Amino acid sequence: MESAPSSPEDDRGRGVLIVRNASAGSAVIRLDPGSTFAERLPAAQIREIREDEDLEDVVAAAMAAVVPPTVLGVYGGDGSVSRMAHLARRYDRPLLAMPGGTFNHFVRALGIDSVDAALDAYEAGSTVEVGVAEATADADDPVTVLNVVSVGAYPELIEERQRRNSLGKWLGGVVATAAALRSAEPLTVVRDGRRARVWSVFVSVGRNDPDRVATMQRQEAETGVLDVRIHHARGSKVRALASLAFGKRTAAVMRALRLFPRDEDVERLVLRELDLGVRPEPGHPSVFVHDGELEERDAAGFRLRCVAVPHAVMVFAPAAPDGR
């Protein structure tokens, strides 16, 4: 007996690969999106990445299939989304990005506040060309950055938190902040032959809020520039940690308490590329962070180069209110 032909409803999502990061967003309670995928994209290929698997290998295997995916999707936080964006660029595929992490800075900047919002954009064929940054440490291959690259106080805080994973995210964060406050020291950066002692450098993809130091979330979709914030080490350790307040309300409280860095201590630059030598103090980690992902380098320091790349990846996203 011949099987009945599939209906158009059954074909929804055919050609879509969605990779789920099971560990993303573990600090918040989220509904399992599995039933949403099954209902709205019944023909999509859904892969939950295991701890012993690498996202790049999973996607490479899918792309080597007889019928490779035409859309690369990811359910996870900023780190997972930025890695999938890198692969979407490599394989010249559009990106279906869905919020499944703790903060989800990138997707929220595009107006995607839920899985359903992302799937609505996919079904409507609504896309936006997104600019990115490419960050290269020493002679490594460049990585795709969607939000920000940072050196200094913030990466050290992230490293302290990772050491205390067993305490849980909230308590570990509190303990890490206290430890960072005790041990924080400026680092030396070299740009265009000039040396400076700084608490932190944030390199944001696209122009960002001029009042912030920690520009964690991008403010625009398409862009061909980097917005750089250099917090010079002319203030206290308390100001160095207070500068990491990236929420508007938190930053406002810090300003009211006179804990936020002074305007004259923060250098603001808009560039197409940035070439930076990074030299931490002895005994301090040689690290940088991109989209929440910590990268360790040689203890003696490293060279970090960031380049703005416009029109880098096509992302399914709701149309802007003005129709652009």
Q: Calculate the alpha carbon distances from 243 to 20, 96, 145 in Å.
A: 33, 33, 22
pTM (two decimals)? 0.86
**Domain ranges within the chain, ordered by starting residue:** 8-125, 144-311
Question: What pLDDT is recorded for position 152?
Answer: 87
pLDDT at 161 over 80: no
User: Please, is 54 exposed, middle or buried when counting C-beta atoms within 10 Å of its C-beta (0-12, 13-18, 19+)?
Assistant: exposed
pLDDT digits (tens, 9 = 90+) for 237-295: 777 776 776 566 656 666 665 666 677 888 999 999 999 999 998 888 899 999 989 89
Question: What is the chain's mean pLDDT, rounded?
Answer: 84
pLDDT in tens, 166-197: 545 444 444 445 555 556 788 999 999 999 99
CATH 3.40.50.10330 fits 8-125, yes or no: yes
Domain 144-311 falls in which CATH fold?
Tumour Suppressor Smad4 (2.60.200)
Residue 34: per-residue pLDDT: 83
pLDDT tens sequence across 114-156: 999 999 999 999 999 999 999 999 999 999 999 999 998 777 6
